[in-house]
A and B are shown apart, each in its own frame.
Chain A
Amino acid sequence: GENVEQHPSTLSVQEGDSAVIKCTYSDSASNYFPWYKQELGKRPQLIIDIRSNVGEKKDQRIAVTLNKTAKHFSLHITETQPEDSAVYFCAASTINSGYALNFGKGTSLLVTP
């Protein structure tokens, strides 16, 4: 089955700096790559996603890049703010699994003022 690796497990940045989280996946058939944000004690919520026919997608301060050849994708957050502090999960899915998402282990991001 699909195996998603995520790095780093923790990340601390100063407010205003950029944060980058990287993920790799194993199943070359994976074609959908969402990112979820989970605040402490809350449910995961989708923040951005990318499909395999696109190399990059941007939404205000967040962007995701995908390298299908290398089987890795990254989340970029610019001009970080304290409210960006949360756990971020990458995921990958394929039609072979009915699009059930396989999640990475998460990155705990702390943005200090």
Chain B
Amino acid sequence: GAGVSQTPSNKVTEKGKYVELRCDPISGHTALYWYRQSLGQGPEFLIYFQGTGAADDSGLPNDRFFAVRPEGSVSTLKIQRTERGDSAVYLCASSLSSGGFGELFFGEGSRLTVL
């Protein structure tokens, strides 16, 4: 596709449920990032993939959050036992550069609301 695609665009779930958010990066981009953006805040780094491996997952807030990128393209962010504080827009970005000064191309985000 022409840009980074994220699905679903909106997700409403109940506290305690499990959710998956999908990111389809720009073809050929080896680096993939997940960020979380709360209202009025800047994007908060969660995890960075270089190819299939998580090169840096230091931003994941706790062990309820997990992300995979099994074939080095599509990535899924998984959140277990959701809490109201998890409500935010989850942004995915990809970059052509493998650890260089590359522009991040963001998706439109997945807005998660935990009731």
Seen from chain A, the residues whose Cβ lies within 8 Å of a Cβ on chain B are 1, 4, 6, 32, 34, 42-46, 49, 51, 89, 91, 95, 97-106
Count, chain B residues at interface, CB 8 A: 28
Q: Does B86 count as interface, using CB distance less than 8 angstroms? A: no
- Nearest B residue to A4 via CB reads B42
- Minimum distance in angstroms from A26 CB to a CB of chain B: 15
Which B residues touch A102, using CB under 8 A? 45
A87 to B86, CA, bound (A): 23
Q: Is B85 among interface residues, defined by CB-CB distance under 8 A? A: no
Q: Which residues of B contact A (CB under 8 A)?
A: 31, 33, 35, 40-45, 48, 50, 55-56, 58-59, 91, 95, 97, 99-104, 106-109
Known: A43-B107, A103-B44, A106-B40. A98 touches B101 (CB 8 A): no
What are 20 A-B pairs at a CB distance below 8 A? A34-B103, A43-B107, A43-B108, A43-B109, A44-B43, A45-B106, A46-B104, A49-B101, A49-B103, A97-B45, A98-B50, A98-B56, A99-B102, A100-B48, A100-B59, A101-B45, A102-B45, A103-B35, A103-B44, A103-B45
Please name 15 further chain A to chain B contacts, defined as beta carbons within 8 Å, in addition to the given A43-B107, A43-B108, A101-B43, sorted by A numbering: A43-B106, A44-B43, A44-B106, A89-B42, A98-B50, A99-B31, A99-B48, A99-B97, A99-B101, A99-B102, A100-B45, A100-B59, A102-B45, A103-B45, A105-B40
